[in-house]
């Protein structure tokens, strides 16, 4: 099967999602990021979807534009130096990726850090209760 038919490489998709998540957390538009790194906003869209690969030099510029260490974009990927090829087992990375991949997740995370600790605790309790209720309904189905 040719690479074109197989779709984007999972690493490109992962890095693109991490670029999008960081950009959204910082409240930067695709147009602003594009201007900072010298491409069109359409190119940023393609990077974020994993449709176009990001060169190392462009990823370096993206990291600078987003004030982010390069390692951030690779968190959660397989560790190529591991003998077994096991993935990183940090559940925080998986949860962050899941949160940032759903509609409204980035906005929720950004707003969440702005509220008081007391309200934050109440919100966490509410969300946990909703999740438990959803799990119970799924198990009955």
Range of the domain at 90: 3-101
Residue pair 90/72 in contact (Cβ under 8 Å)? The answer is no
Rounded to an integer, what is the distance from CA 84 to the centroid of its chain? Answer: 25
> Is pTM, for the whole model, over 0.75?
no
Together in a domain, 65 and 130 = no
Together in a domain, 60 and 113 = no
The predicted-structure confidence for 99-134, as pLDDT tens digits, reads as follows 777 778 878 887 887 888 899 899 999 999 998 988
Together in a domain, 19 and 59 = yes
End residue of a domain, out of 101, 117, 132: 101
Distances from the Cα of 53 to the Cα of 9, 10, 47, 74, 122, angstroms: 9, 11, 6, 14, 41
Task: Write down the pLDDT at residue 103.
Answer: 79
């Amino acid at each position: 099967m040719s690479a074109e038919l197989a779709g984007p490489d999972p690493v490109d998709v992962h890095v693109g999602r991490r670029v999008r998540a960081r950009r959204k957390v910082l409240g930067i538009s695709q147009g602003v990021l594009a201007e900072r790194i010298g491409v069109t906003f359409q190119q940023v869209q393609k990077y974020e979807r994993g449709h176009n690969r990001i060169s190392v030099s462009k990823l370096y510029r993206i990291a600078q534009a987003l004030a982010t260490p390069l390692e951030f974009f690779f968190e959660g990927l397989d560790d190529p130096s591991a003998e077994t090829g096991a993935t990183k087992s940090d559940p925080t990375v998986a949860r962050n990726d899941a949160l940032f991949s759903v509609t409204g997740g980035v906005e929720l995370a950004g707003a969440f850090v702005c509220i008081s600790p007391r309200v934050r605790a109440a919100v966490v309790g509410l969300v946990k209760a909703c999740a438990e209720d959803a799990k119970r309904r799924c198990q009955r189905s």
